[in-house]
Amino acid sequence: MARTPVAAPVIEDAARLEALLRRAVALAARNAAEGGAPFGALVAAPDGTILGEGVNTVRRDHDPLAHAEVEALRDAGRRRRSSDLSGLILVASAEPCVLCRAAARVAGIGEIRYAVDRDAAAARGYDYRDGYALLAPAAEDMRPTCRHHPVPGAEAALGAAPKAASMAASMAADRPIRRGRGG
SS (H, E, C) 38-69: CCEEEEECCCCCEEEEEECCHHHHCCCCCCHH
When pLDDT is cut at 50, 70 and 90, the band that residue 91 belongs to is very high
SS3 30: helix
Q: Does 36 have pLDDT greater than 80?
A: yes
When pLDDT is cut at 50, 70 and 90, the band that residue 27 belongs to is very high
Q: Which residue has the higher pLDDT, 53 or 162?
A: 53
Q: Which residue has the higher pLDDT, 143 or 127?
A: 127
Q: Fill in the amino acid letter for 167.
A: M
Q: Does 24 have pLDDT greater than 50?
A: yes
Extended strands (E) in the chain: 40-44, 50-55, 89-94, 111-116, 145-148
SS3 115: strand
Most confident residue range from 9-18, 41-50, 149-158: 41-50
Sign of CA dihedral 59, 61, 66, 72: negative
Q: Does 107 have pLDDT greater than 80?
A: yes
Per-residue pLDDT at 8: 59
Q: Does 83 have pLDDT greater than 90?
A: yes
Instruction: Determine the average pLDDT of the residues in 115-120.
Output: 92
Measured between its terminal Cα atoms, the distance across the chain in Å is 33
Residue 18 known to be catalytic:
no
Instruction: Determine the average pLDDT of the residues in 131-154.
Output: 73
Instruction: Determine the average pLDDT of the residues in 63-90.
Output: 97
Q: What is the average pLDDT score of the chain?
A: 82
Q: Does 163 have pLDDT greater than 90?
A: no
Catalytic residue among 53, 69, 71, 95: 69
User: How buried is 177 (Cβ within 10 angstroms: 0-12 exposed, 13-18 middle, 19+ buried)?
Assistant: exposed
For the whole model, what pTM was predicted? 0.80
